């Protein structure tokens, strides 16, 4: 049975009481940050305190610009005492998405990624949605809350980012949320966040990707070796998709003792999430959507499989795995 927005909101508020100290835990990106902002606004004056915390290191320029320009108070999980909090909320992720979530027991999970079978007192997981921000906008509307300019701008930018300007997976509910937020958004502020995408030190990775790229039919592969920030893999994978005749982009790199792979495709052919899961799920965590996916493999799992220190061999192994599951054309 499909629940109304009012009923979803009632069930959400039922999880909290006035003396609760609430911790919102995210793997910070625009969708997660904006969704956390929305949860905090929903709980304003309804609980004792709300704290937003991130499990990852935030280095990507647009994320940093978003936090700064929208005035988001956010702390790394290493800098908080989780025992101080009586309630925990995870948005735009599920506990199995990252081992850093393991120390938390969520009371509420709201997400738009594929359901992983996790249980919590309240779960609202809608894989058909293009962004968790769209779901959170529905909660705000059900609560009859007019979002502030900064909150609306954050949610607007999150939907814009996660749907790739509606070129990726999205449904009519994403469009409705976007239209509603547009009326309250500062477009110039959103554009300023969007244009803060690159840092000068990122350019060396573009140079390496261009120099070492391998093109096979409509697919382009690049391995960058050790990277200071895995977000650069996303930027380069998206960059290659802008090249005429490219319908798949697979970019990999080593970070935090893991091999990280970012997959992008044009959405017309095989499902990138399935290809990622079938290619690398046996040795690490992998999955995603039809045209965008990710895999993370601990380097310890690769020791008996491939010499990950040999960049040419590692790239060849990645190509072999992808072509086996996605086909050679």
* 290-317: average pLDDT: 92
- pLDDT for 213 equals 94
**pLDDT tens digits along 188-225:** 999 999 888 777 888 899 999 999 999 988 899 999 99
- pLDDT for 328 equals 61
Contact yes or no for 72/52 (Cβ under 8 A): yes
**pLDDT tens digits along 118-168:** 889 999 999 999 999 999 999 999 999 999 999 999 999 999 999 988 877
- pLDDT for 199 equals 77
Topology of domain 5-194, per CATH?
A: inorganic pyrophosphatase (n-terminal core) (3.90.1640)
Q: For the chain, what are the domain ranges?
A: 5-194, 205-326
Least confident of 33-42, 117-126, 285-294, 310-319: 285-294
* 46-63: average pLDDT: 93
| DSSP labels, 63-97 | HHHHHHHHT--EEEGGGS-GGG-SEEEEES--GGG
CA within 13 Å, CB half, 293 = 29
Contact yes or no for 156/147 (Cβ under 8 A): no
Comparing C-alpha atoms, which of 187, 147, 190 is closest to residue 39? 147
Pairing between β-strand 214-216 and β-strand 219-226 as defined by DSSP bridges: antiparallel
Residue 264: its H or E element? strand 258-265
CATH number given to 205-326 = 3.10.310.30
- What's the CA gap between 267 and 210, in Å, rounded? 24
pTM over 0.75: no
CA 320 to chain centre: 27
pLDDT confidence tier of residue 248, bands split at 50, 70 and 90? very high
* 236-246: average pLDDT: 92
- pLDDT for 329 equals 53
The average confidence (pLDDT) of the chain is 92
Structure tokens at 325: 């599951």
């Amino acid at each position: 049975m499909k629940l109304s927005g009012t009923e979803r909101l009632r069930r959400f508020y039922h999880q909290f009481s006035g003396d609760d100290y609430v911790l919102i835990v995210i793997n910070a990106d625009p969708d997660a940050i904006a969704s956390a902002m929305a949860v905090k606004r929903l709980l304003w004056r309804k609980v004792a305190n709300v704290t937003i915390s991130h499990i990852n290191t935030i280095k990507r320029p647009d994320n940093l610009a978003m936090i700064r320009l929208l005035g988001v108070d956010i702390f790394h999980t290493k800098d908080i005492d989780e025992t101080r909090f009586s309630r925990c909320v995870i948005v735009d992720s599920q506990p199995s998405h990252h081992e850093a979530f393991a120390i938390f027991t969520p009371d509420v999970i709201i997400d738009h990624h594929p359901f992983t079978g996790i249980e919590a007192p309240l779960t609202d997981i809608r894989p058909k949605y293009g962004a968790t921000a769209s779901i959170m906008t529905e909660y705000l509307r059900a609560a009859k809350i007019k979002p502030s300019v900064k909150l609306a701008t954050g949610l607007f930018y999150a939907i814009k980012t996660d749907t790739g300007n509606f070129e990726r997976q999205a449904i009519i509910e994403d469009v409705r949320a976007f239209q509603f937020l547009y009326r309250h958004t500062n477009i110039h502020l959103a554009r300023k966040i969007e244009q803060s995408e690159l840092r000068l030190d990122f350019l060396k990775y573009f140079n390496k990707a261009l120099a070492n790229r391998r093109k096979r039919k409509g697919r382009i592969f690049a391995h960058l070796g050790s990277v200071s920030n895995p977000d650069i893999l996303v930027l380069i994978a998206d960059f290659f998709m802008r090249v005429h005749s490219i319908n798949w982009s697979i970019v990999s790199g080593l970070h935090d003792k893991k091999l990280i792979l970012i997959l992008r495709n044009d959405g017309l052919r095989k499902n990138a999430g399935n290809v990622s899961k079938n290619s690398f799920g046996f040795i690490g965590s992998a999955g995603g959507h039809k045209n965008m996916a990710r895999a993370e493999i601990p380097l310890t799992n690769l020791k008996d499989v491939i010499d990950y220190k040999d960049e040419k061999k590692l790239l060849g192994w990645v190509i072999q795995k992808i072509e086996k599951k996605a086909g050679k054309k």
